[in-house]
Amino acid sequence: MKHWRNVTILAVASSLVLTTGCGPTLSKEQQQSQQQGIPSTNGQAANRLKSEQSNGVKQLGTGGTTRIQAAGGSSQITVPVVDVNGTAYVVGSDFAKSLGYDFDWDGERNVFQLGDHDAAYEFTAGSPQAEKEDQKVSMNEPVLLQNSQVLLPVASLTSLMQEELTIQKQDKNIVITASDMAVEGSIDGPDEANTGAELDFEDDPNDPFKGVEEDASPTMGALEAEGVSITVDEDAVPVLKNINVPGMIAQAKRYLGVKYDFGAKPYPQSGRFDCSTYTRYIFGKYGISLPRTARAQARLGTSVSRKSLRKGDLMFFYVPGRFKTNKTVGHVGIYMGNQLMIHASPKPKDGVQITNINKAYWKRTYLSAKRFVY
């Protein structure tokens, strides 16, 4: 499967404006469909998509994304609109790049994925159905595929993302206003001393596993290595569960170095993780079923303070971006104690890694912690 990856393509236009600017034999009908950017599937959705696109698509925008420095130090970004039979669309990849989101195209499912460190949104080509944070939603217009570009309906995007973005249609563009402040300190910045300051993370002195050595035996991982199948009940509701937490941490460390992949499919199939598939996989080994996305995981569990963290708590952060809110969950990791977190991330390394979170970056992007185990 060929992926589209998020690549920032920005060139300075002025001090105030930036621009972004061999397989199986196919039938004649399939070849035509591919040339038109239509999924080679049967059914009403594909037929409707082909019918709509045969009428042509008119590009109404300026030909590229434009970023403008506005008064008062704020910023706005404009993304050109594509008109399809009177309905406004934006190119999915341009929309994602403008916001600093990652994105991917799953050719096996005809799905366009969008999000931070996992796929918070999924859009199916030829369908008005989408997924937001593991929940199915209906849009008024279908997602289109034209010349290998995914087109997302503007009106539905405005409604779907209203909690995190302000999108306004103005003439031949959509305009997004900056809603985030810059984060002090880089993701790989220096460690800071824990002085008990407001933003410092602290361990719960009553953690029953504080100081307990990590021991992965007996584990389900050993069974897995012997070829025993492990299944997770995706419909189960997570509850606070008594498990061998040090064993779970040891199990999590077995996957150190496994590469990160945005929108990763289940690990046994892909051999990759994104942030939420990693936490889901590790917790699933102990009979705890978590949703697919970090945002959905953050809605569950028992809330705990950053000053009372225990081993096994899930920690949630936002991912800084100039045109994204700083209140939306974009990343999740597993707390290991002593200000250490194990997580799957593209940065500062690529893959499953252990990070000291006593850094300015993590302190300022932290949103919440949830407890599922004890």
List, by residue number, the catalytic residues. 275, 331, 343
Other beta carbons within 10 angstroms of residue 95's beta carbon come to: 25
Tokens encoding 253: 């460390």
Burial label for 243, CB within 10 Å (0-12, 13-18, 19+), is middle
Q: Residue for token digits 């959905």?
A: 296
In which region does residue 313 sit, left (phi positive, over 0), alpha (psi from -120 to 50) or beta (all else)?
Answer: beta
Burial label for 327, CB within 10 Å (0-12, 13-18, 19+), is exposed
Other beta carbons within 10 angstroms of residue 291's beta carbon come to: 18
Q: In whole angstroms, give the CA distance from residue 268 to residue 282.
A: 12
Fill in the amino acid letter for 115: G
Pairing of strands 149-153, 58-59: unpaired
